[in-house]
Amino acid sequence: MATQQEILSGLADIVNEVAGVPVADVQLDKSFVDDLDIDSLSMVEVVVAAEEKFDVKIPDDDVKGLKTVGDAVSYIAAAGA
């Protein structure tokens, strides 16, 4: 079971890889769209990479609810990562 910090760190690496956002900028309170400039298509790339990394499923319908990095970290933790 990954800790919240481990999930955040892994997610930051993914966001950096997909969108070139500096790892340090990926914080729990940051909005994907407004703060990190991740659009809907980049978000799909982030989500699929996260699915592979944390071995969880994040259906398209649930992606819309992931507004902040914290939302994603909580979702991944609850999904069993």
Partner 1 sequence: MTGAPTFKTAQGAPYARMLGVGGYRPARVIPNSEIVDRIDSSDEWIRERSGIQTRHAAAADESVIDMALVASEKALANAGVTADQLGCVIVATVTHLMQTPSAAAVLGHRLGTTKAAAFDISAACAGFCHALALANDMIRGGSAEYVLIVGVEKLSDMVDPYDRGSAFIFGDGAGAAVVGPSDVPGIGPVVWGADGGQANAITQDVPWHTLRDDPTHKFPTLSMNGQQVFRWAVFQMAPVCQEALDRAGVRADQLDAFIPHQANLRIVEAMVKKIGLPDNVAVARDIVDTGNTSAASVPLAMERLLDNGEAPHGGTALLIGFGAGLSFAAQVVTLP
Q: Work out the angle at residue 29's Cα, subtended by the Cα atoms of residues 53 and 50, and round it to the nearest 5 degrees.
A: 10
Q: Dump the DSSP string for 16-38.
A: HHHH---GGG--TT-BTTTTT--
> By CB under 8 A, how many residues form the interface with partner 1?
10
4 contact partners, CB below 8 Å, separation of at least 6: 73, 77
Closer by beta carbon to partner 1, 25 or else 37: 37
The residues in 9-68 that bind partner 1, with binding defined as CB under 8 A, are 39-41, 43-45, 47-48, 60, 63
C-beta of 28 vs 63, nearer to partner 1: 63
Rule CB under 8 A: which residues touch partner 1? Answer: 39-41, 43-45, 47-48, 60, 63
